Amino acid sequence: MTTLPTTELFGLDNLPYGIASKPGHAPHVVARLRDHAIDLAGLAADAGGDAWIDAWSQSTLNSFVAQGRPSWRAARAWLRDTLRDESRAEVVAARLHPLTEVTLHLPIAVADYVDFYASEQHATNVGRIFRPDGAALTPNWKHLPIGYHGRAGTVVVSGTDIVRPCGQRKAPTDAEPTFGPSIRLDIEAELGFVVGGDTAIGTRVGVDEAADHLFGVGLFNDWSARDIQAWEYVPLGPFLGKSFASSLAAWITPMDALSAARTAAPQQDPQPLPYLRGEDRFGLDIDIEVELGGTVISRPPYSTTYWSPTQMLAHLTVNGACLRTGDLFASGTVSGTEADQRGSLLELTWSGKEPLQLADGSTRSFLEDGDVVTLRATAPGTDGGRIGLGEVTGRILPART
């Protein structure tokens, strides 16, 4: 079972944002305080947060995220002050709803979704598995953060069931491809970064400007059908092996709640081209855990990730591609250097050759129907303790054949 406490991680130094509804009411913006959702538009109306009432009355975070970093910071300061203000205790209490009484929704309307491949250890593991006799990393890997666009319309909120996808697969030894349910269904433990603030097409966001566009972070599980992916991905990249579903946490932790989690970015050798350098290159000391069937099977450390989120955003826009509020980019699978820090079953079982043993005595090479996978994470908070990222969880349903 999880080693993480469940509620103290969501105190005043955290306050992640989400979207919640009660039966018969429209979804709107909330913040999480311990085991409660704060109705933010209501609180703002009662306690002087007029600047955010409209944005917090919406059914996604996008309007709020569009307001930009000065507004995000002012809102967070206002919220923390209000929650600490004993004279407002009754006003606050009236706007708290137990999490057990609300439904959580996808926090953002995703504009474009990009998945990167930013963990050196993950890319190395994948290279060793698929190209045992070649170089583990492709020649471009240390020169640019490799990424590709995924399907924005199938990003789902934590808790959504995942139907096992069907598709074509062909092992190298098969004469012809066959069709059916994926038999190598996998997870990828990632962080998803929510982007705010539109930019103009033809312009760039540099490494040192990127943080102005980073609203927050959510745990992200990029479900992957390895057999479908292996057959389809040459030459244009992953498509149906990924596009059936990707799960995003219901809670987006503001970057400002992670200021104490900032770490020095890993040294980069060779030094990348100038547009990927910059002062604001950082890692995040976020410890992830992956639970499958009640067993923690891995603890990937995000701090080891080679490419900084600010480098990913700078790379994404260096060709003039514009940003839109609601863009989501994910880190790619996070894998540490140790065997029990790998962020995918592909790596944890070395392509199925070394099955995992779960606490109930069963073994897994890849996911079985009924399996529940949950990602959790903690990081240093600004008030001296640790804060939690909202979990992302999903259960595998049988394929619809």
Residues lying near its own copies in the complex (CB under 8 A) are found at 111-112, 114, 117, 138-140, 143-144, 146-154, 156, 163, 165-168, 170, 176-179, 201-204, 225, 228, 231-241, 243-245, 270, 273-275, 315-316, 318-324, 327, 397, 400
Tokens of 301: 């450390």
Pairwise CA distance, residues 200 & 39, whole Å? 34
The reply, when asked if residue 115 is annotated as ligand binding, is yes
CB 262 within 8 A of CB 278: no
The reply, when asked if residue 268 is annotated as ligand binding, is no
Smallest distance, its own copies to C-beta of residue 194, A: 15
Pairwise CA distance, residues 233 & 240, whole Å? 9
Of 126 and 292, which CB lies nearer to its own copies in the complex structure? 126
CB 126 within 8 A of CB 347: yes
Smallest distance, its own copies to C-beta of residue 138, A: 5
Pairwise CA distance, residues 129 & 123, whole Å? 10
Question: CA of 20: how far to CAs of 66, 106, 285, in Å?
Answer: 19, 9, 28
Tokens 């203000």 belong to which residue? 85
Catalytic pick among 28, 122, 213, 315: 122
Of 204 and 262, which CB lies nearer to its own copies in the complex structure? 204
The reply, when asked if residue 117 is annotated as ligand binding, is yes
Pairwise CA distance, residues 216 & 225, whole Å? 28
The reply, when asked if residue 148 is annotated as ligand binding, is no
Tokens 């993950």 belong to which residue? 122
Burial class (CB in 10 A: 0-12, 13-18, 19+), 95: buried
Of 231 and 306, which CB lies nearer to its own copies in the complex structure? 231
Smallest distance, its own copies to C-beta of residue 344, A: 15
The reply, when asked if residue 190 is annotated as ligand binding, is yes
CB 238 within 8 A of CB 114: no
Of 153 and 361, which CB lies nearer to its own copies in the complex structure? 153
Smallest distance, its own copies to C-beta of residue 321, A: 5
Smallest distance, its own copies to C-beta of residue 202, A: 4
Helices (H), 85-182: 89-93, 120-130
Asked if 122 is an active-site residue, the reply is yes
The reply, when asked if residue 242 is annotated as ligand binding, is yes
Of 154 and 382, which CB lies nearer to its own copies in the complex structure? 154
Pairwise CA distance, residues 140 & 127, whole Å? 13
Binding residues for Mg(2+): 222, 242, 246
Binding residues: 115, 117, 131, 188, 190, 222, 229, 233, 242, 246, 333
Binding residues for substrate: 117, 131, 229, 233, 333
Binding residues for Ca(2+): 115, 188, 190, 222
Catalytic residues: 122
